[in-house]
A and B are shown apart, each in its own frame.
Chain A
Amino acid sequence: MNAHAQSSHTSHYVKIWAILTVLFLISVCGPMLGIKLVTLITAFGIAIVKAYLVAAHFMHLNVEKKYVTYLLLAMVIFMVLLFAGTSPDVMTPGGQNWERIPIPSDSGSTH
């Protein structure tokens, strides 16, 4: 790798880092608006974008063989599967003969 190519790589990485930092600042400021939907988008939408940027440009998945990406995505999909199969039970408030009361939103603040 010649010096020129190297410095252009460096500036590429610094650019990605700068984008990540801006995204990070947005995700910190998002909740300040106090709108729940905006908070969710700035928190989790941006987390996904940041994860994508790190994975593609820092971990070099963009130039890696495609099946590596598929492998990692498959693992994530299995976790979605775990959620899909488990949440109907874990998030159930009760059955025919039993009841499970969620911790309500006002009881947590006592400390």
Chain B
Amino acid sequence: MSHAEHAHQSIWQKYIFSTDHKVIGLQYLFTGMFMALLGGFFSYAFRMQMAFPGKDVPLWGLVTAGEYNALITNHGTIMIFWVAMPVLIAALGNFLIPLMIGCDDMVFPRINRLSFQIFFLSAVVLLASFFVPGGAFAGAWTAYPPLSSNPDYSLTPLGSVLWLIAVALEFVAFLLGGINFITTMMNARAPGMKMYDIPILVWMIVIASIVFMASVGPLVAGAVMLLFDQLFAVGFYNPAKGGDPILWQHLFWFFGHPEVYVVLLPAMGIVAEILPVFARKKLFGYKTILYTAIATGTLSMFVWAHHQFVAGIDPRMANVFTITTVLISIPIAEMVFVYIATLYKGSIEFSSAMLFALSFLVTFLLGGVTGIFLGASASDIYFHDTYFVLAHFHFTFVPIAILAVFAGIYYWYPKMFGRMMNETLGKIHFWGTIITFHLIFLPLFYTGAAGDHRRIYNYDNFPDLAKPYMNDLRIIATIALIFMLLFQIPFLYNFVVSWKKGAKAGKNPWNANTLEWTTESPPPHGNWKELPSVYRGPYEYSVPGRASDFWPQNEKA
């Protein structure tokens, strides 16, 4: 294709069937944002039922018991598989990896496009499951058999099949995308970019892709087995026929727990990119971060059964998994320490991106600490399946999939669209999100510890739990959720309006070092007129003896 032909591409070719990594990255981003709105709306509907049971929910209507189950199931599924994964790994990975390592595209552009198309198809299949007879799957995002395998129990004969197919397609999309990320980083780096010159975010996305690839295989096989159970009632997970339902739990969590680290590592990577820029200081301990990330990824393969402490697993294995689970806090804590050390004696600028990055560290720390109670098998027996687990989980996943993603969007928006976002609106958005977030989930730690079980649809049926002070906490959480959702309006407004009306960003608005800031904003097709070479690491800020406080990777001496 010559350059002249390029100019005449139709909108269709340019934005829908493009093979350009930047366009595909934005496609993932917009799909993810749309699904996030949907998942957020679901949480609004079922939280309203929690706070005001049996009343009509505005914009939804009465939440029936079946609908409630379908809503929580799909809230979880969407937020993990169709928000966290596509935005953190696919959107940022596609947009940033070629830009950060200085090449013109991913190594397999057409496989990349195929990956997005399969992902899009999977989202369509999932949404379609809401409109089939019986409604969407309602057996929780973990899909334990027999609830998921037997339509007599789940009452969603088609919904559970579509749900499973959607999840399996999504895995295929990310396997294709992951192979692309890994090979691109391994092979397509700019001349001069050595192993320790690669920006941490790229490392993190690649390590996450490898962990994903190593852990998802058994679940792909397990999904095929579950599909046969659903369609032909064969009994892989049916003990009456010689199968075993615990087998699914193992296959699921063998993937499910590494998945937490699959999304955590890119979030850690975003923070690693943002902190040095707004602290004007070299990232403390590049190699430490890299090696702890590899250690985290490896160790994350050894911890999965801590989700099954009450499932009747072998108590001796519970001991082993308690130890490995508590061990994994070591590399994570080390990473957080390194980030805090980066801030020490820095010259910190509290931009919106920096605020979100810092809030990630604080909230994730809280999420991690509450996880210790759940990783230890003895205390987990009490806390299991309560709102304590739920609050812990959201204290880890909201920083990962929401706070870190917002940090990334505020930071890379100028590169994506060539314009700056409004900082005032950004700060309103930040404080609105972070305060309401704590108001939602801190009360839920308490109600969970007081005995609120996760799977209860209406607490009026449980007089011991329907005490007024417990109800008040649920109402506080629900109202805070409504405000949190409303505080996303300034963000969306900012996002849309800045696209056309924001201040022009120029090549390098943050005075950052990494390669993506050395090209136009937004980068043209092919990214650079002349592809850059690399002469140093990505975090050389405030180097003594230099006039300017940053030192781009591609600058000769």
Contacts and interface: CB of A to CB of B under 8 A. Distances in A.
Interface residues of A, number: 16
B250 A75 contact: no
A32 interface: no
Given A88-B314, A89-B317, A82 B254 contact: yes
A92 interface: yes
B214 A85 contact: no
A89 B246 contact: yes
26 contacts: A74-B214, A75-B217, A79-B218, A81-B301, A81-B302, A82-B218, A82-B250, A82-B254, A85-B254, A85-B305, A85-B317, A86-B247, A86-B250, A86-B251, A88-B313, A88-B316, A88-B317, A89-B246, A89-B312, A89-B314, A89-B317, A90-B244, A90-B247, A90-B250, A98-B312, A100-B239
B463 interface: no
Interface in A33-62: none
A70 interface: no
Interface in B428-460: none
A78 B302 CA distance: 9
Interface in A12-36: none
Interface of B: 214-215, 217-218, 239, 242, 244, 246-247, 250-251, 254, 301-302, 304-305, 312-314, 316-317, 321
Nearest to B239: A100
Contacts of B215: 78
B421 to A, nearest CB: 41
A2 to B, nearest CB: 31
A99 to B, nearest CB: 10
A89 B301 contact: no
Interface string A64-92: 00000000001100110110011011101
A5 interface: no
Contacts of A75: 214, 217
A11 B250 CA distance: 47
Nearest to A98: B312
A85 B301 CA distance: 11
A75 B242 CA distance: 28
What secondary structure prevails in chain B residues at the interface with A?
helix
Nearest to A71: B210
B153 to A, nearest CB: 19
A85 B316 contact: no
Contacts of A63: none
A88 B316 CA distance: 9
Nearest to A100: B239
Given A85-B317, A89-B246, A92-B314, A78 B301 contact: yes
A24 B103 CA distance: 48
Contacts of A98: 312
B248 to A, nearest CB: 10
B184 to A, nearest CB: 17
A85 B215 CA distance: 14
Contacts of B251: 86
Nearest to B214: A78
A103 interface: yes
B321 to A, nearest CB: 8
Nearest to B314: A88
B246 A90 contact: yes
Contacts of B301: 78, 81
Contact of A85 (B217, B304, B312): B304
Contacts of B305: 85
User: Nearest 8 pairs between A and B by C-beta?
Assistant: A88-B314, A86-B250, A89-B246, A89-B313, A90-B244, A103-B242, A90-B247, A88-B317
A67 to B, nearest CB: 10
A108 to B, nearest CB: 10
B240 to A, nearest CB: 10
Contact of A95 (B302, B304, B312): B312
Contacts of A88: 313-314, 316-317
A88 B313 CA distance: 8
Contacts of B246: 89-90
Contacts of B321: 85
Contacts of A89: 244, 246, 250, 312-314, 317
A88 B317 CA distance: 8
Contacts of A86: 247, 250-251, 254
A75 to B, nearest CB: 6
A103 B240 CA distance: 10
B551 to A, nearest CB: 32
A79 B215 CA distance: 9
A97 B452 CA distance: 26
Contacts of B314: 88-89, 92
A90 B302 CA distance: 18
A88 B214 CA distance: 22
A98 to B, nearest CB: 8
Contacts of B244: 89-90, 100
Given A75-B217, A85-B304, A90-B250, 8 more contacts: A74-B214, A78-B215, A78-B301, A82-B250, A88-B314, A88-B316, A88-B317, A89-B250
Contacts of A103: 242
Contacts of A81: 301-302
